[in-house]
Amino acid sequence: MSDFASAWNLSRGRFEEALAGLSQTQLNWRSHPGALTLGEMALHVAGVEVFFASQLTGRTPDGMAARLTEAATDGVVNDHPFPFSAAETTPELVAEAHRVGREWWGPLASDPIEEIRNKSLTSALGPVITGDGALARLSFHAAYHQGQAHLYRTSPGFPA
């Protein structure tokens, strides 16, 4: 297992733990206008994993994976609406998104071959980066949102 995979598995696991057992109401609670909900964060994290993996491998996402790629950017770093509604953002959908993200990104993080590490891709924020850059970013991406999840869960007004 690569160092990238160790870091990614740790940060991803902690993010999943922070969301474990949350209800649909809790997943869709918005701390303030313009902020992502925890459910949107979860779909975004998996979306970036699929978004990066698809560019690095040339594999075309379909079904849930294709929708997740939209969550990498839409409603997060641009003005488009988030691609999943609150009504469909359930604990089951979040679990499925996490499974799909792991399926797409896990093998690349575990054994990042030189060809993947040196390939160029467009990041969710727009700049062109290398596969190494994608590996580094996704090593901590879920941890960034795990910190937000902690703040949400301890915020006044978070649903019980």
8 A C-beta contact, residue 13 and residue 118: no
**Can you give the pLDDT at residue 2?**
82
- Output DSSP code: residue 78: S
pLDDT at 117 over 90: yes
- 């949102």: which residue's tokens? 145
27: left (phi over 0), alpha (psi -120 to 50) or beta: alpha
8 A C-beta contact, residue 105 and residue 50: yes
Tell me the per-residue pLDDT of 41-68, one tens digit each, with 9 for 90 and over.
999 999 999 999 999 999 999 999 999 9
Supply the pTM of this predicted model: 0.96
Could you give all domains of the chain from N- to C-terminal order, each with its CATH number? 3-153 (1.20.120.450)
Tell me the per-residue pLDDT of 55-114, one tens digit each, with 9 for 90 and over.
999 999 999 999 999 999 999 999 999 999 999 999 999 999 999 999 999 999 999 999
CB-count exposure of residue 70 (10 Å: 0-12, 13-18, 19+): buried
